[in-house]
């Protein structure tokens, strides 16, 4: 059994990782695929049958989900079997929301062991308003 996705021990901590995470979640089809995979693992053909899309289009969606570490796949004979990685989904959301004090106070964010804190992620601690017009508020980070 050969895994083609990175293990959840490497949570999405960089800006690029979080960008891939949210890009994957931004698409309706990819969210629907995650919902299917939450129920049980499936091969590509099973996933394609559930959508009015071509196999190459579904494969591209699955590639985006793999790059975001939200699904894992393994080859079984001639089939690629996909399954949701719920720990990676929870960890990615926790890392992102853990960057914001208000979210941490509300219980969102780190709580799954030793997740990186905002300062460790290169995120400045405070966001201050900058002079600007009323319709476009601008902010700067003071770290």
**Region of poorest pLDDT, from 41-45, 68-72, 91-95:** 91-95
Tens of pLDDT, residues 14-34: 788 888 999 999 999 999 999
Q: Which domain holds residue 10?
A: 1-110
* CATH classification at residue 34: 1.10.10.10
Tens of pLDDT, residues 78-109: 999 999 999 888 888 888 888 888 877 777 77
Instruction: Please give the backbone phi and psi of residue 63, each rounded to the nearest 5 degrees, phi first.
Output: -65, -45
Assess if residue 49 is contained within a domain: yes
Assess if residue 90 is contained within a domain: yes
Assess if residue 46 is contained within a domain: yes
- Identify the pLDDT of residue 37: 96
Are the beta carbons of 32 and 47 closer than 8 angstroms?
no
- What residues form DSSP beta bridges with 130? 138
Assess if residue 140 is contained within a domain: no
Assess if residue 141 is contained within a domain: no
Assess if residue 8 is contained within a domain: yes
> pTM, whole model, 2 decimals?
0.66
Q: Report how many domains make up the chain.
A: 1
């Amino acid at each position: 059994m050969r895994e083609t996705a990175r293990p959840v021990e490497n949570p999405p901590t960089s800006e690029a990782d979080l960008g891939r995470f949210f890009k994957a979640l931004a698409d309706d089809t990819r969210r629907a695929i995650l919902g299917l995979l939450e129920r049980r693992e499936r091969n590509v053909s099973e996933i394609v049958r559930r959508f009015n899309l071509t196999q190459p289009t579904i494969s591209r969606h699955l590639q985006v989900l793999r790059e975001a570490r939200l699904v894992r796949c393994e080859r079984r004979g001639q089939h690629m079997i996909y399954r949701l990685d719920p720990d990676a989904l929870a960890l990615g959301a926790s890392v992102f929301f853990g960057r914001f004090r208000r979210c941490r106070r509300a219980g969102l964010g780190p709580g799954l062991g030793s997740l990186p804190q905002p300062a460790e992620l290169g995120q400045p601690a405070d966001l201050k308003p900058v002079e600007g017009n009323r319709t476009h508020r601008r902010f700067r980070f003071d770290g």
